[in-house]
Amino acid sequence: MTATARPLLLNDFDAAASRKRCMGFRRRILDVSQTVTALHIAPAFSCMEIADTVYNGLMRRKDDGSSDDVFLMSKGHGCMAQYAILEYLGVLANGELDRYCTAHGELGAHPDYGVPGIEASTGSLGHGLAMAVGMAIAERNKSPARPSMRSCPTVRFRKGRPGKRS
């Protein structure tokens, strides 16, 4: 199973199909909201088109729906959008969304690392950006074409406590 490369220009992205998918995802979230009180509906609804475009337009997918590309939901309150899309793609088991925020489910009110398709635990607005940048730098530094970190210049600090001249 190899990922099929897609151009980042979204030339083959069907906006009409995306609108239909997003309406279906919103219906699914509303269905789940009838049984769970800890659901953040507005954040999930507000980022639905963005998440759908990333997952169904930009990310390269394998036959099983998984991807080597990474998506971080920095706005952890909107993770229900991500969960709905992951269920649609078959990354999450059917019915897992119905166990959202229950003792028998693995999906929490914020994305938790370890859940299939979730690359990092997020929640505080904005901290996902720093995490994504760090992950990208780490991935770049793992590349065999990159020089080892030992060849990078070292930062030297003054002796003593910060703010105090030594």
pLDDT (0 to 100) of residue 11: 58
Contact of 78 with 124, CB cutoff 8 Å: no
80-127 confidence digits (pLDDT tens): 999 999 999 988 998 888 988 888 888 888 888 888 888 888 877 777
Cα 77 to Cα 109: distance, rounded to the nearest angstrom: 7
8-15, Cβ contacts within 8 angstroms, sequence gap of 24 or more: 8/58, 10/53, 10/57, 10/58, 13/53, 13/56, 13/57
Closest CA to 61 of 28, 86, 26, 81: 86
pLDDT below 50 — which residues of the chain? 1-2, 6-7, 149-166
pTM: 0.75
